[in-house]
A = this chain, B = another copy of it.
Amino acid sequence: MAQKPSIPKGTRDFSPAETAGRNYIFDTIRSVFRTYGYVQIETPAMENLSTLLGKYGEEGDRLLFRILNSGDAFSGIDFDSYCIDKRTNSYDSRALSAKVCEKGLRYDLTVPFARYVVQHQSELSFPFRRCQIQPVWRADRPQKGRYREFYQCDADVIGSDSLLNELELVQIVDRVFGLLGISVSIRINNRKVLTGLAEIAGFPDKVVDMTVAIDKIEKTGLEAVEAEMREKGLSEEAIKVIEPVLLLSGSTREKIACMRTMMGGGSASGIVSETGLKGLDELDELFGLISAASVSQEVVLDLSLARGLNYYTGAIFEVKANDFQIGSICGGGRYDNLTGIFGLPGMSGVGISFGADRIYDVLKGLDLFPESIAESSRILFANMGDRELRYLLPVVKSLRDAGVACEIYHEHSKLKKQFDYAAKKSIPFISIVGEDEISRGEVNVKNLTTGEQKSFAASDIEHLISFVCR
């Protein structure tokens, strides 16, 4: 009996139009990465679970897709010893899955990259700039805009702490969204400044709680942020130190100057933070480089930007579309010890990740995809019979060799049917070559939009191409 076909929840088929749109995004990003000396690598979809486990927190471990060991995965396992409650057949799932699964699907591109760098360090020259565009898998609860399989497009440079790298990532973002025609604002912060802020507030150990709270200011407002900080144990005095930072306005230069005063001992607490001052130096230098490089898109210092990720140690980036509400479409930052877990300490790196799914939605929503990418074929050659077909074959081959996408209707049938096919597939030109054209050695072409019709010598492919491709 026939099965009703379906795909696992949270996964997607991509239609020809969607795939073309996605390729347009990937190709654009890849071409820009390349001009900045980033070279592409690929890593396997499956990694050893020992590589993945413990790298994404408890939640991440739970969301890994695990691959059942091949062969006889269950033999020799004493299931009773994993049983928690015999009546309900409850088992210690974590221990049992570790027993029957040794591999998992990659959860992001960063951990496989760290693993790659350590494993291949002798083959690489540092600083090593790599880009990687591959799918990742997460067993998240599927919901609108969240999928269990999605692509990440990452660029990271490892083995250099120069802020030139940060500048170049900003330039890459600038160029990619410039080419895609999306107006964005690039928000920048520095993790050291957030650390400094926690220090001058007198709660150096609460930097994570503080940044998690601050990160929400755009969504929930000042009062809710302060309430959350209180809840997390920050004192009223601490909040008094932090509040002016949240309300800071003015130019980037002014913001940095004001923060410098505070970090230098000028806040309500009078505490000096060397880390905070170092972060401000970095921001100062980076913004100086950005103006020297004449970045086109808006770049702003946003001291509330935290991006939740604990492993950033310097710059933090986030990019939002100005004309489309969808959250962050690109983000990243500097981390100081990514490869340490795999035995290669002291490698500083900085990277960004483009969110292809959201970028797709922005391009679609703002109607920014170039028209040409959705097109399957530029011209349909009607099939008028065997003799006509043989006459056309070399003509069509020349067009294809020149890169023009063509179709010959697959069988000799009524012209109406062939026209309908062209219309349904939005093929913009049709050619109907019959006995007359053959006797004159010609090929005629009709523009199906304007109705314009032209004849070309079968040997004059060049003019035919400029007619159908102009």
In the complex, A31 Cα to B171 Cα: how many Å?
30
**Of B4, B13, B292, B403, which one neighbours A41 at CB under 8 angstroms?**
B13
Assess whether B376 is in contact with A39, with CB atoms less than 8 Å apart: yes
Task: Determine the residue in chain B with the shortest Cβ distance to A1.
Answer: B343
Cβ of A446 within 8 Å of any chain B Cβ, yes or no, is: no
**Does A440 belong to the interface (CB within 8 Å)?**
no
Given A16-B41, A120-B13, A123-B15, check contact A397 B47 (CB 8 Å).
no
Query: Total interface residues on A, using CB and 8 Å?
Result: 116
Judge whether A137 is part of the interface by a CB distance below 8 angstroms. yes
Q: Is the interface of A mostly helix, strand, loop or mixed?
A: mixed
CA A427 to CA B212, docked complex, whole Å:
44
Interface status of A145 (Cβ within 8 A of chain B): no
Q: Is A268 an interface residue (CB 8 A)?
A: no
Copies per assembly: 2
Is A450 part of the binding interface, using a Cβ–Cβ cutoff of 8 Å?
Answer: no
A83-125 vs B, CB cutoff 8 Å, 1 = contact: the mask equals 0000011110100110011110100000000011011100101
Contact A397 B15 (CB under 8 A): no
Which residues in window 401-425 of A have CB below 8 A to B? 401, 403-408, 410-411, 421, 424-425
Q: How far is the CA of A44 from the CA of B9 in the complex (A)?
A: 10
Q: Is A252 in the interface zone, CB < 8 Å from B?
A: no
Q: Specify which chain B residues have a CB less than 8 angstroms from the CB of A72 in the assembled complex.
A: 91, 93
A410 x B162 contact (CB < 8 A): yes
A96 to B48 Cα, complex, angstroms: 23
State how many angstroms separate the Cβ of A196 from the closest Cβ of chain B: 25
- Asked if A377 is at the interface of the complex by the 8 Å CB criterion, the answer is yes
Residue of B whose beta carbon sits closest to that of A342:
B5
Q: Is A56 an interface residue (CB 8 A)?
A: no
Q: Which of A61-69, A203-211, A323-331, A456-464 contacts B (4 or more CB under 8 A)?
A: A61-69
26 A-B residue pairs with CB within 8 Å? A2-B343, A3-B342, A4-B343, A6-B119, A13-B41, A13-B116, A13-B120, A14-B42, A16-B39, A16-B41, A19-B41, A20-B39, A20-B40, A36-B405, A36-B406, A66-B68, A74-B93, A74-B97, A100-B100, A127-B410, A164-B411, A165-B410, A171-B400, A289-B393, A293-B397, A294-B393
Besides A19-B42, A175-B401, 14 more A-B contacts (Cβ < 8 Å) are A3-B50, A3-B342, A7-B44, A11-B45, A13-B41, A13-B119, A14-B43, A35-B403, A45-B137, A72-B93, A74-B82, A125-B425, A165-B410, A292-B390
